[in-house]
Amino acid sequence: MKRIYLDNAASTPMDSEVINYMIPFLKDSYGNPSSIHDHGRKLRAIVEKSRKEIAELLGASPTEIFFTSGGTEADNLAIKGVVKGMGVRNVVTSRIEHHAVTHPVEEFEKEGINVEWLEVDSQGRPNLEQLEYVLSNQGPTLVSLMHANNELGTIIDIDKVAEICEKYGSIFHSDTVQSISNVKYNLGKSPVHFITAASHKFYGPKGIGFLYMKAGIQIPSLICGGPQERNLRAGTENVPAIAAMAFALKRCYANFDEKNAKLRKLKSYMKNGLETRFTGIKFNGDISEEGSIPTVLNVAFPGEEANSMLLFNLDINGISASGGSACTSGSVVGSHVLKGIGCEPIRAANSIRFSFGVQNTLEEIDQTLEKLTSLIKLPV
């Protein structure tokens, strides 16, 4: 049986059209885009063309897009840049953010930066009344809250958060790695200051991403060296990956409604199939169409003992899923996200994240449901 891949929130397969688009750049574009000769100038033109294409999709200016190695670097660049470069001594975030956010914030907390950890509800949404109270009682603040949670799929009201931040003169950064291809943005009309993205979440290559930084903001570079990315990110640009990333995002946006409709159908089919076959199934986070991205379904299977072998058994039976973020794979402490929304330890231990991509089919969902039925004895 062909392996079934249901871990698209960790990484999507590269679109075949994106691969074909990227190959000529790998074969023929071997110059350095910082070189002033013809080979270099051609590559510089490709980089700037890609920057413009991404900016147009997001309603931004090309000068507001900075290429990075992915979402983690982009998150770190924004957070560390604001705290170290803009003199901000207050940070507000939540415990269920991606570790690319929580870990640098925890380091700042150890160094004496004031950090407020917002409460979140059972679906993974931060307490916005608490946010407003905190911002109204302290000085310049960096607020970092992800748009769509990578383990739950829950979407927060990013416009409301941006409005509160603007009201109190705070800097707002949002990790949009999971939402960038599933929600359309118009950053020119939004008060958000930073968003981040990673190509491998929308059918592009790994190792490339970008940071959007609103015009007028200045932060220092994390990586010292050459003047690339307008002195914000030193290092020779990965031109084939940059070009492929822009092309992949364009393809996602060109087929936006069709793509999302298919993903919603897969998610709904999986949810209904689980509920039909098993009693006691619970879902973590918001699973409504309007309250979540269409790619993630986090399922808590019933049982009084942790079903620690379920993921392993799915794997050896040809089905790839996950217990949470791939960045915490192998961790013995469990999901910090499920802990953060108040899941009981057993429920968290029995939870699996299934995440869907455009390459998945209803037949694959049926096969997964049948395999789950044979692997674990749930009440029927």
Interacting residues of 25 by C-beta distance below 8 A, sequence separation 6+ = 46, 239, 240, 243, 244
162: number of Cβ within 10 Å: 19
Tell me phi and psi for residue 296, to 5 degrees.
-120, 130
What per-residue string of b and e applies to 131-146 under the rule 16 or more CB within 10 Å gives b? bbebbeeeeebbbbbb
Which of 224, 252, 327, 343 is flagged as catalytic?
327
DSSP 322: B
1: number of Cβ within 10 Å: 8
As a whole number of angstroms, the distance between CA 290 and CA 294 comes to 9
- 336 in helix, strand or coil? helix
Is 224 one of the annotated active-site residues of the chain? no
Half-sphere exposure of residue 52, counting CA atoms within 13 Å on the CB side?
6
One-character DSSP codes across 17-60: HHHHHHHHHHHH--S-TT--SHHHHHHHHHHHHHHHHHHHHHT-
Question: Are the C-beta atoms of residues 147 and 310 closer than 8 Å to each other?
Answer: no
The C-alpha torsion from 272 through 276 and 278 to 284, rounded to 10°, is 20
- What's the gap between Cα 195 and its chain centre? 10
Within 99-178, strands assigned E span 114-118, 141-144, 171-175
What is the residue whose two structure tokens read 């910090």?
Answer: 336
Active site residues: 327
